[in-house]
Structure 1
Amino acid sequence: MPITTCIFDAYGTLFDVGSAARAAAREPGREALADCWQDVAEDWRQKQLQYTWLRAITGDHCPFWQVTQDGLDWALENRGLDGDDELRDRLLALYRELDAYPEVPGMLRALKASGHTCAILSNGSPDMLDSSVAAAGLGGSLDAVLSVEEVGVFKPAAAVYDLVGRRFGVDKDAVLFVSSNGWDAGCATAYGFETVWANRGGHPVDRLPGRPAHVLPDLSRLPELVS
């Protein structure tokens, strides 16, 4: 069956999760952050993801904005930057306006021009996603922005992937699911989607029951792959 529907993870896939710390580090008076912003960004992202997995396992769900704050607090303390409330507030504000990766706007326009449905499926809270989509100017290329808040559990729970069929009424094999998270792409494969792993970091494939059908270094060639 041909692909009719392209579904994208948001954070790390369409939006550069390191751009908040990078932008803050360039601001005057941020010398302490400038010395370690990459470490802060990496710690922040890893804790954010780990907290979603743990909450999914324990059933202790909360909005993604909460785990985003919790992950940042851990990251700042780990680098000796805790206690700077102004820095914390600034990083959180920037996280709501993350940069899209350079190839993303053109890639989405090309998919829409070829008649494909395009949507986000994300752990993100609806208000977070709406803010980032608006800041990046992507709204005109998206048919929907789907959040796990509809089902109250984080990825990779099957209930999250179910949202695609519920929203668009399509069979699994008509869906191309795209994520920069290897575990997300692998789990979506096991669920039944055609998958692309945007392997921006050049990492090995995760040892999971499902393996991504396609591995790309970024999303620039995605319209060519779909066609």
Structure 2
Amino acid sequence: MKTQTTKSAPSVRPTVLFFDVNESLLDLENLKKSVAMALGDREDLVPLWFTTMLQYSLVSTTSRQYGDFGIIGAATLRMVAANHDVQLTESEAKEALKPMRSLPPHPEVKEALQKLRNAGYKLVSLTNSSNQGVQAQFKNAGLTDYFDEMLSIEDVGKYKPDRDVYDWAARKMGAQPNECMMVAAHGWDIAGAIWAGWRGAFIARPGQQLYPLAPLPEINEPDLLKIAEKLIDLKSSGAKGDIPNGIN
């Protein structure tokens, strides 16, 4: 597997923009504070908990044992706590994750989404959160009306970045893989989407990095507004064949 070091600038609009939700659109700061408190005020353990949660969501996927993301999050929070001599009950772990459903959007998100809608883009969320979870998140964050569709991996029973998730989401929206673009702040999500034949736009939020062994996305900017500006500048394709191929 070779590291891709260059990526030509995009020239044609994707048909559907798919957005990751947690960290990409929503600010996790309140959740991080709550989790840190549950772990004995250990802020340094929060990234470990998040990666452990992702790890076990993929364990569930590869074992064909789907479980709600929130349940996996609470279980892995208890695992991290136990490994660092912090006593944490199941109910306490669930309580620590309650801020997940009331996270605010990052400051530029609403303006960026509105600009993309005004430019005629179809906006779809694609999240590892449950259907009920993302509906609550978007309602509390005031994002519901910006999206044409809200998709959850709950309906396919596998977690991103499993390729089946991206294939399913593309079919759900009636689009070919190379007509889809994943917009996310997670290197693993961008990598999974590109390897599934999608296009990618990386939101380089603080603490987030692209996976060096995956192909580079077409767009890499520090916030969603800058990504929106680049997407708006793209020309519309006259035919499906005009959409770039071979991006993966």
- TM normalised by structure 2 equals 0.79
CA RMSD of aligned residues (A): 2.4
Write the letter of the residue equivalent to 1:180.
A
Write the letter of the residue equivalent to 1:20.
L
Deviation at 1:138, TM superposition (A): 0.2
Equivalent-residue separation in structure 1 for 2:137 and 2:89 (angstroms): 25
Deviation at 1:173, TM superposition (A): 2.6
- TM normalised by structure 1 equals 0.85
- Please say which of residues 133-142 and 107-116 is displaced more in the overlay: 107-116
Equivalent-residue separation in structure 1 for 2:218 and 2:111 (angstroms): 23
In structure 1, the residue matched to 2:79 is 74
Confirm whether residue 111 of structure 1 aligns to residue 116 of structure 2: yes
In structure 2, the residue matched to 1:190 is 195
Confirm whether residue 45 of structure 1 aligns to residue 50 of structure 2: yes
Deviation at 1:55, TM superposition (A): 1.9
In structure 2, the residue matched to 1:64 is 69
1:214 maps to which of 211, 215, 219: 219
Q: Where do residues 159-198 of structure 1 align in structure 2 (5 Å cutoff)?
A: 159-198=164-203
In structure 1, the residue matched to 2:148 is 143
Q: Is there any run of 5+ residues in structure 2 with no aligned partner, and where? A: 1-11, 233-248
Report the CA distance shift for 1:107/1:83 in structure 2 as closer, same or farther (over 3 A).
same
In structure 1, the residue matched to 2:27 is 16
In structure 2, the residue matched to 1:153 is 158
Deviation at 1:6, TM superposition (A): 1.1
Aligned partners of 2:202 and 2:217 also within 8 Å: yes
Equivalent-residue separation in structure 2 for 1:183 and 1:56 (angstroms): 15
Aligned partners of 1:183 and 1:208 also within 8 Å: no
- Please say which of residues 156-165 and 80-89 is displaced more in the overlay: 80-89
Aligned partners of 1:15 and 1:101 also within 8 Å: yes
In structure 2, the residue corresponding to 1:19 is in which secondary structure?
A: helix
Equivalent-residue separation in structure 2 for 1:21 and 1:2 (angstroms): 35
Deviation at 1:226, TM superposition (A): 0.5
Aligned partners of 1:119 and 1:143 also within 8 Å: yes
Deviation at 1:78, TM superposition (A): 4.1
Deviations 1:161-202 (A, max 9, x none): 123322221222322211111011012112111101112135
In structure 1, the residue corresponding to 2:167 is in which secondary structure?
A: helix
Deviation at 1:41, TM superposition (A): 2.6
Q: Is there any run of 5+ residues in structure 1 with no aligned partner, and where? A: none
Deviations 1:142-167 (A, max 9, x none): 11111111111111122211233222
* Structure 1 segments (4+ residues) deviating >4 Å: 30-33, 84-87
Write the letter of the residue equivalent to 1:108.
L
Aligned partners of 1:122 and 1:146 also within 8 Å: yes
Deviation at 1:209, TM superposition (A): 4.1
Deviation at 1:61, TM superposition (A): 2.1
Aligned partners of 1:189 and 1:195 also within 8 Å: yes
1:55 maps to which of 60, 65, 68: 60
Confirm whether residue 4 of structure 1 aligns to residue 8 of structure 2: no
Equivalent-residue separation in structure 1 for 2:126 and 2:151 (angstroms): 5
Aligned partners of 2:35 and 2:46 also within 8 Å: no
- Please say which of residues 179-188 and 166-175 is displaced more in the overlay: 166-175
